[in-house]
Amino acid sequence: MKNINWRTKLPAISTNLLIALLLLAGAAYGKNNKKTDVPPFLYEAGTEDLPKGCLGRLEVLKEGFTFKCPAGNISLPFSGVSVMEFRPDVSPQAIALKPAWKVPPEPARVRENKYFTIVCNDQGKLRVVVFRVSEDDMRPYFAEIELQSGKSVKEYRSYDEFQ
């Protein structure tokens, strides 16, 4: 039987066991805490050739908005934007314009702000898009939109403000 020198082997074994334990703990933590990267904006209604419910991302660029979803992309220049509202229902101003809806809005009011409406006159063509988005996801966009466009989003927090 070989004589094992535990004084030299014990630190190496302990270090290897500690590393293995840390790797297992790290792998378990990463497995349970993966964020699902769900796009926050849902195309709810509008005059664009996109299907209702198309989930995508809204980018605020220097010259305008770009919405990208699997079914396609749309761009709206800031120069033509006349209405930007975030409210519990679809903007009555947008509905009153009677645009040629490809996806008509469904009348609905929700307790919290969920609808971001943009009305744009792009080269003589009236364009309206309505996105459904949570208030938490919309919050960071307010400052960015104002900074890039020089225009502000009208935000209605309760029914009393717009009735």
9 and 66 share one domain: no
pLDDT tens by residue, 47-87: 999 999 999 999 999 999 999 999 999 999 999 999 999 99
28 and 45 share one domain: no
86 and 6 share one domain: no
Sign, CA dihedral 161-154-102-99, equals positive
pLDDT for residue 34 is more than 70: no
Question: Could you tell me the CA-to-CA distances from 94 to 14, 20, 24 in Å, in that order?
Answer: 69, 60, 55
Using pLDDT thresholds of 50, 70 and 90, give the confidence band for residue 146.
Answer: very high
CATH number, domain of 58, equals 2.30.29.30
| Predicted pLDDT at 1 | 55
Strand partners, 125: 122
Instruction: Answer yes or no: are the C-beta atoms of 86 and 115 closer than 8 Å.
Output: yes
66 and 12 share one domain: no
Across 17-26, 37-46, 68-77, least confident range: 17-26
Structurally, the chain folds into a number of domains equal to 2
102 and 151 share one domain: yes
Of 139, 97, 147, 99, nearest to 116 by C-alpha is 139
Express as a percent the part of the chain with pLDDT over 70: 76
What's the mean pLDDT when you consider all of the chain? 85
60 and 29 share one domain: no
Report the distance separating Cα 115 and Cα 136, nearest Å.
13
67 and 5 share one domain: no
| Predicted pLDDT at 145 | 94
pLDDT for residue 162 is more than 50: no
What is the average per-residue pLDDT within 141-152?
Answer: 93
* List of residues 6+ apart from 3 with CB closer than 8 A: none
Write out the residue range of the structural domain in which residue 3 sits: 1-34
pLDDT for residue 28 is more than 70: no
